[in-house]
């Protein structure tokens, strides 16, 4: 089944404890992206990747890192999480960024709480 | 900087009504516009994707139009049903390949 998977789905952690949220897709998609969703602020893009080893900042990259060493995986790293990073996180992918094959498909979300 | 606005923020209609959701964007240099549906506490489901060169796309009871020059898209839902109740989001991919979302329209269809 074609899908975008995220792990973990739920995470409660403490300030400063490094964590990684994994994202994987099995559709051979080039474009992958991370978003956070907050009440009143909507969905905002954190980072995106056009392909392996090509990443760029979205609108809210502060406090986050990403890497794209393999086409299927795009982990989101919080090196020193803070309470203002408590949010619902989504990973998404599409075949390409531009052109006719750029319909984005979303993972189920990761709810992160930083105490 | 690209900004995406959705109007109305919330909408309540009786079952069977046809309705229109609006999405506007400030910069016409986009690759595409995509409409999503989000149920409470759930992920996003893709509804329709319109390329910048297209004027409209249809899927079942849904029809989305795009007028890039005026920075507008509409999502038309025909014969609404209670199961259509959800938040509807539009998103544009910009010339720099960023994705910008609107805040969404919360739709409630009364039986």
Q: ∠ CA B80-B81-B82 to the nearest 5 degrees?
A: 130
- Per the DSSP assignment, residues forming a β-bridge with A106 are A92
Other CB atoms within 10 Å distance of the CB of residue B98: 18
Q: What is the percent of chain B where pLDDT is above 70?
A: 100
Specify the 3-state DSSP secondary structure of B103.
coil
Which positions in chain A touch B42 (Cβ < 8 Å)?
108-109
Pick from A33, A35, A103: CB nearest B34: A103
A10-67 pLDDT, tens digit each: 999 999 999 999 999 999 999 999 999 999 898 999 999 999 999 999 999 999 999 9
Q: Which one-letter DSSP state was computed for residue A75? A: -
Specify the 3-state DSSP secondary structure of B106.
strand
Contact B6, B21 (CB under 8 A): yes
- Per the DSSP assignment, residues forming a β-bridge with A11 are A112
Where on the phi/psi map is residue A99: left (φ > 0), alpha (ψ -120 to 50), or beta? left
The alpha carbon of residue B93 is apart from the nearest alpha carbon of chain A, in Å, by 8
Which positions in chain B touch A31 (Cβ < 8 Å)?
97
Give the pLDDT score at A102: 84
B55-102 pLDDT, tens digit each: 999 999 999 999 999 999 999 999 999 999 999 999 999 877 899 999
Specify the 3-state DSSP secondary structure of B104.
coil
pLDDT band at A101 (very low <50, low <70, confident <90, very high): confident
Give the pLDDT score at A97: 77
Pick from A58, A92, A105: CB nearest B98: A58
Instruction: Answer whether B32 sits within 8 Å of A43, measured CB to CB.
Output: no
Lookup: tokens for A54: 């090509």
Which positions in chain A touch B99 (Cβ < 8 Å)?
33, 35, 45, 48, 58, 92, 104
Lookup: tokens for B53: 């060169």
Q: Residue A81 class from Cβ within 10 Å (0-12 exposed, 13-18 middle, 19+ buried)?
A: buried
Pick from B34, B43, B98: CB nearest A90: B43
Lookup: tokens for A76: 């989101």
Contact A90, B44 (CB under 8 A): yes
Give the pLDDT score at A21: 98
Lookup: tokens for B100: 């910008």
Q: Does A96 touch chain B (CB under 8 A)?
A: no
Instruction: Answer whether B99 sits within 8 Å of A48, measured CB to CB.
Output: yes
Pick from B89, B91, B97: CB nearest A50: B97
Contact A51, A64 (CB under 8 A): no
């Amino acid at each position: 089944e074609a899908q975008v998977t995220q792990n973990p789905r739920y995470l409660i952690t403490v300030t400063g404890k490094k964590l990684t949220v994994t994202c994987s897709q099995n559709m051979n998609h080039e474009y992958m992206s991370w978003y956070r969703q907050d009440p009143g602020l909507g969905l905002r893009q954190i980072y995106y990747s056009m392909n392996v080893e090509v990443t760029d900042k979205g609108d809210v990259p502060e406090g986050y890192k990403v890497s794209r060493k393999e086409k299927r995986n795009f982990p989101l790293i919080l090196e020193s999480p803070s309470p203002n990073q408590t949010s619902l996180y989504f990973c998404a992918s599409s075949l390409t960024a531009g052109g006719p094959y750029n319909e984005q498909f979303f993972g189920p979300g990761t709810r992160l709480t930083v105490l | 900087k690209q900004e995406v606005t959705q109007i109305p923020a919330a909408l309540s209609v009786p079952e069977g009504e046809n309705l229109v959701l609006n999405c506007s964007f400030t910069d016409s240099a986009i690759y595409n516009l995509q409409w999503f549906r989000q149920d409470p506490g759930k992920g996003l489901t893709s509804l329709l994707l319109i390329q910048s060169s297209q004027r409209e796309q249809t899927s079942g009871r849904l029809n989305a139009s795009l007028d890039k020059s005026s920075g507008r898209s509409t999502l038309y839902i025909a014969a609404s049903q209670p199961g259509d109740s959800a938040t509807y989001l539009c998103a544009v991919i910009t010339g720099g390949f960023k994705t910008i979302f609107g805040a969404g329209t919360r739709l409630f269809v009364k039986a």
